[in-house]
Structures are given as C-alpha cells and as structure tokens.
Amino acid sequence: MAAPGLLDQLAVVLGRAPRKRPPSPAAAAIALAKRGKTPKKNELLAEIGHAHGIHTWRNRRWAVLLGVNLLFTLSFWIDIQVLEGSLTASRLLGFHLADVYSSLLVMLAQRHVAVNLVIGATTIALFWGLVGGRSFCSWVCPYHLVAEWAEMLHLRLARSGRIRDHGIHRGVRVVFWLVFAALAFATGQTLFLALNPIGILSRLLVYGPSLALGWVVAILLFEVLYARRAWCRYVCPIGLTYGILGAKAPVRVTYDLEVCAHEGECRKVCEVPHVLDLTIKGRAEEPKLDVGPDCTRCGLCVDVCPTGALRYELKGVKRLL
C-alpha cells in the first residue's frame, strides 16, 4: 500500500476528510508487534508531563516570527532600508517580494499583469514551495501568533465548561478563496486586503494602529468564544494558497509508527488536527509517513510528542536539529 499521493493530499487541503485505508503489510506487522508492548500508564504519563514542559520548536518559531516582523518595523523607523513595506508587498534589499494570493487579487482587480508583482510573487512562491507552504502561517504571520495566544484562552475556557468549540467544514476556505478572487475581478476592489488581519497587523507594526485593528479584535473574540482558530482553519485564502504551493516541499514533519504510543497529545495541540489522523491507532498506511501539506510546520506536535514519533526532517538529510 503506497503512501497518499499528491492529488489525495491536495484534496485534504481543499477540505476533504482524510481517508482511512488498509495498512501496508509492513505497517500491519508493526501494529501487531506493538500489541501488549505499550508503555505502562504511569511511565507514559511521566513522559507526557515531561514533553509538555518542552517548547523548543515553539520558542524558535516565535523568535523567527518576531524577528521578521521587527525587521519591517526597524527598516521603517530607523530607515535602514533592509526589509521595506509589509507582508502584503515588500522589498528585501531592493528586491521585490509579494504575497502570492494578494498579488493575484490586485492583478484581477486592475485587470493588468504587473511585472513587479509577478516577480515578487514568484520569488515568494518558490521560497515557500521549498520550505513548506504553510510554514508561512506559523513562522512569519503575525496574526498566527496572536491567534495562538487567543487559542490558549479558548482552551482554558473550554476546560472550565464556560464555552465549547464549534467546528466548521474546512471546505468553506475554498469558497472564501474563490469569492474574494471573483469580487476583485468583478468590482475592481480588493475587499480581502481590507479584511485580512495579516496585512492589518503587519502594517500596524510598521506604521502604527488604525481603526482596522477593531476588526482583528472581533475575529479574535470570535475565536476565543466560538470557533478555535477560525480564521486560520476555515477562512484564510493565504494559508490555503501556500499549502498547495508547498505540498511537495523537502522540509516536512514526519511520523514514525513504530515508536508512536497513540496517546493523542499531538492532536490536542495541533492547529489543523486532521493532518495528524495518521497517528490514530490503525490509521497509518506505512511505517513512516510525511504529515500532509496542510501542516503549518509549527512544531507543537514535535515538542509535545513523548516518544519522538514526530520530528522535522529535510529530504536527503533526515532529522533537523
């Protein structure tokens, strides 16, 4: 039984639920050999408790995210002209960079192909295509960071019974992608750029706050009180775009069935838990698998896994430090 193909992985990115397939003979043999050999409950709980105190990849990610966004701020306020603009469109040492989806909307609205936007969007597409598309979400996007903090509050309220999470079909994200693109072409206006919390926060860090910040607060309140990580999971067309572009990136999170305890801690912390369905007992089709392209490469599952079944790898190099 082969691992899921590219089209199958992209279908999951677009909203289809992961399919359950029979395991390969090798995966079935590992599952059989593991029966009765699961770590003792007390030992596993101790390992889980230790893993929850480790935030290695989260701290690295936060440092990169804050560093990139701070560079925008310093370039503007100190006029060092290293990284000018915002995450929507910028220049790195004079070279044009542009968000792929935002560039598409601008060209659809203007009905004109702008060379600078094509150059900038192509450069960004190639970069995130190599690093792993949705890495942008967790390693660069400023909204991801504040949504992550809001998620902590959501989970605390949910544990106390004051609220409960409401899921939304992930296919809605595709509808938003198409609607914003169609509106740009039909009206000549880029409505998404006005509503996009990523751009709002990126411009806030550079130029200061505006009334648009109230919209970001409203989204965060919705996520805290109703739907966990709603913008990132069910709306953001930028995340969807990069997820598709980075579907075959050499940098990935990998899963090792043989050492997995199937305790489910990884799925509890994952922003997009459907990508970790392969960690459910009996779901892995092969002994070793790559986590799907909808993964944000945030590293939370890597940090929290008590047995090391999940880790970062670079194709041809294996494990990353």
What would the pLDDT profile of 142-166 be if each residue is shown by its tens digit?
Answer: 999 999 999 999 999 999 999 999 9
Residue ranges making up the domain that contains 233: 58-244
Q: Is residue 266 part of a domain?
A: no
Asked whether the beta carbons of 53 and 132 are under 8 A apart, the reply is no
Give the type of residue at 109.
A
Can you state the angle between helices 142-159 and 56-77, rounded to 10 degrees?
140
Tell whether the model's pLDDT for residue 37 goes beyond 70.
no
Number of structural domains found in the chain:
1
Burial track 213-226 (b if 16+ CB lie within 10 A, e otherwise) = eeebeebbeebbee
Distance CA 165, CA 226 (A): 6
Q: Is residue 220 part of a domain?
A: yes
**What are φ and ψ of residue 36, in 5° steps?**
80, 0
DSSP string, 93-142: TTEEEE-HHHHHHHHHHHTS--HHHHHHHHHHHHHHHHH-TTHHHHHT-H
Put simply, whether the predicted model's pTM sits higher than 0.75 gets the answer yes
What would the pLDDT profile of 104-137 be if each residue is shown by its tens digit?
Answer: 999 999 999 999 999 999 999 999 999 987 999 9
Q: Is residue 259 part of a domain?
A: no
More confident position, 236 or 42 = 236
Q: Is residue 24 part of a domain?
A: no
Q: Is residue 39 part of a domain?
A: no
Using DSSP, state whether 90 is helix, strand or coil. Answer: strand
Q: Is residue 32 part of a domain?
A: no
What would the pLDDT profile of 202-261 be if each residue is shown by its tens digit?
Answer: 999 888 888 999 999 999 999 999 999 999 999 999 999 999 999 989 999 999 999 998
Distance CA 51, CA 99 (A): 35
DSSP string, 13-71: HTTPPPPP-PPPHHHHHHHHHHTT-SPPHHHHHHHHHHHHT--HHHHHHHHHHHHHHHH
DSSP code, position 235:
I
pLDDT at 40: 64
What would the pLDDT profile of 66-102 be if each residue is shown by its tens digit?
Answer: 999 999 998 888 888 788 888 998 988 888 899 999 9
Q: Is residue 18 part of a domain?
A: no
Distance CA 149, CA 130 (A): 28
Distance CA 228, CA 247 (A): 24
Distance CA 277, CA 15 (A): 14
Q: Is residue 215 part of a domain?
A: yes
